[in-house]
Amino acid sequence: MTALLEVAGVSKRFRGLKAVSEVSFAVPQGGIVALIGPNGAGKTTTFNLIAGVFPPDEGRVMLQGRSITGLRPNQVCAAGIGRTFQIVKPFGDLSVEENVLVGALARERSVETARRQARAVLERLGLADQAARPARSLTLPDRKRLEVARALATRPTLLLLDEVLAGLRPTEVDRMAEVLRELNRREGLTILMIEHVMRAVMALSDHVVVLDHGEKIAEGTPAGIVADPRVIESYLGAEGI
Amino acid sequence: MTGRGILLLALAGALLLAAPLVADRYVLSVLTTVLWFAYVGQAWNVMMGFSGLLSLGHALYVGLGAYVAAALFVHFGIGPWLGLWAAMLAAVAAGSFIGFLSFRFGVRGVHFALLTIAFAEVARIGFDHIGWLGGSAGFFIPVAEEAGNDLANLRGSPVLFYYVALALVAGALALARALLHSRLGYQWLAVREEPDAAEASGVDLFRARMSAVVVSSALTALGGVFQAFYFNNLFPEQVFSMGRSIEIILPAIVGGIGTLFGPILGAFILTPLGELLTYLIEVTGYDLPGLKQLFYGVALVAIVVFRPEGVWPWLARRLGLARRPGETAVPPNREGTR
């Protein structure tokens, strides 16, 4: 498999504090890669470096062999990366459909065509019957789905998911996991996910990257990772699985 | 809008068209003022209501538009229909400069608002010292002969100005509505709601914000051109004043920021209220200094406290004029209150 996304030795310091330190990993085309680690390990910072929220101090980010290092978030979106936010950021006063419409307008100039695309995405994520409601009135699980819907509507080749399963009930986790698996299998969507819900990580991902204190401490198959002593010590602990 | 909303809009339009047939000079002048504030309120709303950019210095664009068109007319004999392009250009240039400074260097929120005030104040003081434009003594356009209406030079009777103001309001309403349902309009709303998420969804924040400033300042400049030719006099202390900037934003706040009809409704509430107070003070003879401002202030506080989202959204719901997202079971027929 060829790498769709290649993160090569990226580092980021905040006022002297190394949030991410020389992290490298690759996301193969069509894969589902999970990024795990304890709180403060630098997972979201790594995401933000990929998504263009801030440029890395060192290192490069390559998408399909082209450097996207230092691009603005809207340019990263145009390059083909869609993202969700850990703390959901819906356009509160807009309707659910309009939220997704904004995402669709990233690649579509006609509002009517974009609206049709938005409806299709809402249908797919089971939000169609909420389309006309203001986004701020949604429950947390629905807001998380809306995050995914809006990112999907930008028609990404790579989807970055920042803890979209956290805070959901087990049935909702299964439902979301099913949607993601289907997108991956049917449409070849590549996914890089930050996740704490180990059950979902084990079930969904085919490759796991573990961060701790801003450094990559391990990577491998889900089964290999949960057996890795370093990972158990720093993150999973005895009761983690 | 609902059927009832469209009916009411048509009725209001017809009444406004017919108003000069029955209204006397005084009423007509009040109505013209109402329409003027409705218009510039709509223009301001493009920035604050649609894109979340708080401008507290919109008098700058009114003043630039007014002075440029008036100067071209008085000094070079260039009529307002040509002059308005130069007026809009001047306002857009000023707005773009402020926008560029702010959006390139990360000036946001309150600090952006302060910057808009600063520029308006600089203009106010600066124009006081431009002798070519009359300085602080004022700049005057030769008063119109009321006998003949000259639309080409915007010289004529109050009725002419009334209809021009009405056309401005109708035009701005149509433009704002079209923008709001366009790709750019949705991107503006997204930027207003959550800039980070908008940017992650492919919106170029700089371009979106700049375009809002350009549209808003150009529209506001037209209001300035109208003002210059309607009142025939311009004083920097008035046109560029902080008080004028506040007067411009009040109709939209009272009527409903970010709504299409809010600025119009707000103007129809505030201006007549002010006139009524003047009338009451005259009739009762209780002319205490600042009494009018006090009443005005209390009325404002009441509206802001009891209808923080503005009067229009509340009225629209009560009278069934428009639907908010989520209030209808049929998604396709959902225009919201915007």
- Give me the interface pTM, i.e. the ipTM: 0.92
B186 and A74 in contact by Cβ < 8 A?
no
B205 and A151 in contact by Cβ < 8 A?
no
Instruction: Enumerate the residues of chain B whose CB falls inside 8 A of the CB of residue A92.
Output: 193-194
Look-up of token digits 């629209």: B316
Q: How distant, in Å, are the alpha carbons of B21, B35, B47, B337 from that of B44?
A: 31, 14, 6, 18
What is d(CA A147, CA A150) in angstroms, rounded to the nearest whole number? 5
More confident call, A220 vs B304: A220
Q: What is the mean pLDDT of chain A?
A: 92
Distance from CA of A232 to the nearest CA of B (A): 34
pLDDT of amino acid A1: 52
- The three-class DSSP label of residue B57 is coil
For chains A and B, count residue pairs whose Cβ atoms are closer than 8 Å: 99
Distance from CA of B252 to the nearest CA of A (A): 17
Instruction: Enumerate the residues of chain A whose CB falls inside 8 A of the CB of residue B181.
Output: 111
Using the CB atoms, write b or e for A39-49: b if 16+ within 10 Å: eebbbbbbbbb
Using the CB atoms, write b or e for A128-140: b if 16+ within 10 Å: eebbbbbbeebee
Instruction: Enumerate the residues of chain B whose CB falls inside 8 A of the CB of residue A134.
Output: 324-326
A73 and B183 in contact by Cβ < 8 A?
no
Residue B140 host element (H or E): strand B139-140
Which residues fall within 8 angstroms of residue B314, CB to CB, at 6 or more apart?
A: B307
Looking at domain A3-80+156-236, its CATH superfamily turns out to be P-loop containing nucleotide triphosphate hydrolases (3.40.50.300)
Nearest to A63 by CA among A54, A53, A75: A75
B197 and A89 in contact by Cβ < 8 A?
yes
Out of A77, A93, A134, the one facing B201 most closely (by C-beta) is A77
Nearest to B201 by CA among A110, A155, A106: A106
What is d(CA B330, CA B302) in angstroms, rounded to the nearest whole number? 35
What is d(CA B230, CA B224) in angstroms, rounded to the nearest whole number? 10
What is d(CA A118, CA A153) in angstroms, rounded to the nearest whole number? 6
pLDDT of amino acid B281: 82
pLDDT tens sequence across A48-69: 999 999 999 999 999 999 999 9
Flag whether pLDDT at A241 surpasses 50. no
Using the CB atoms, write b or e for B196-213: b if 16+ within 10 Å: ebbbbbbbbbeebbbbbb
Distance from CA of A73 to the nearest CA of B (A): 5
Which domains does chain B possess? 3-326 (1.10.3470)
Out of B189, B199, B334, the one facing A74 most closely (by C-beta) is B199
Strands annotated E in chain A: 3-14, 17-28, 32-36, 58-63, 66-67, 81-83, 158-162, 190-194, 207-212, 215-220
Out of A105, A111, A134, the one facing B325 most closely (by C-beta) is A134
Distance from CA of A179 to the nearest CA of B (A): 21
pLDDT of amino acid A63: 96
Distance from CA of A222 to the nearest CA of B (A): 29
Q: How distant, in Å, are the alpha carbons of A97, A100, B132, B179 from that of B186?
A: 11, 11, 44, 8
Residues counted in chain A: 241
CA closest to A138 among chain B residues: B326
Using the CB atoms, write b or e for A199-213: b if 16+ within 10 Å: ebbeebbebbbbbbe
Spell out which chain A residues touch chain B, with contact meaning CB-CB distance below 8 angstroms. 51, 53, 72-74, 77-78, 82-83, 85, 89-95, 97-98, 101-103, 105-107, 109-111, 114, 131-134, 137, 150-151, 153-154
CA closest to A149 among chain B residues: B201
What is d(CA A81, CA A76) in angstroms, rounded to the nearest whole number? 6
What is d(CA A16, CA B228) in angstroms, rounded to the nearest whole number? 58
A97 and B190 in contact by Cβ < 8 A?
no
Nearest to B42 by CA among B216, B194, B272: B216
Tokens standing for residue B274:
């002010």
pLDDT tens sequence across A6-34: 999 999 999 888 999 999 999 999 999 99
What is d(CA A97, CA A95) in angstroms, rounded to the nearest whole number? 5
What is d(CA B245, CA B57) in angstroms, rounded to the nearest whole number? 5
CA torsion sign for B117, B119, B122, B127 is negative
pLDDT of amino acid B286: 74
**Would you give per-residue pLDDT tens digits along chain B (338 residues)?**
778 888 999 999 999 999 999 989 999 999 999 999 999 999 999 999 999 999 999 999 999 999 999 999 999 999 999 999 999 999 999 999 999 999 999 888 899 999 999 999 999 999 999 989 998 989 998 876 655 677 777 888 889 999 999 999 999 999 999 999 999 999 999 999 999 999 999 999 999 999 999 999 999 999 999 999 999 999 999 999 998 999 999 999 999 999 999 999 999 998 898 888 888 888 887 777 777 778 778 878 888 889 888 999 999 888 888 765 444 433 333 344 44
How many alpha carbons fall within 13 Å on the CB side of residue A78?
10
A102 and B190 in contact by Cβ < 8 A?
yes
To test the contact with chain A by mutation, choose from B182, B201, B210 the residue with the greatest count of A C-beta atoms within 10 A, namely B201
The domain spans of chain A are 3-80+156-236, 93-155
* Average pLDDT of the segment spanning A155-169: 93
Chain-centre distance for alpha carbon B274 = 17
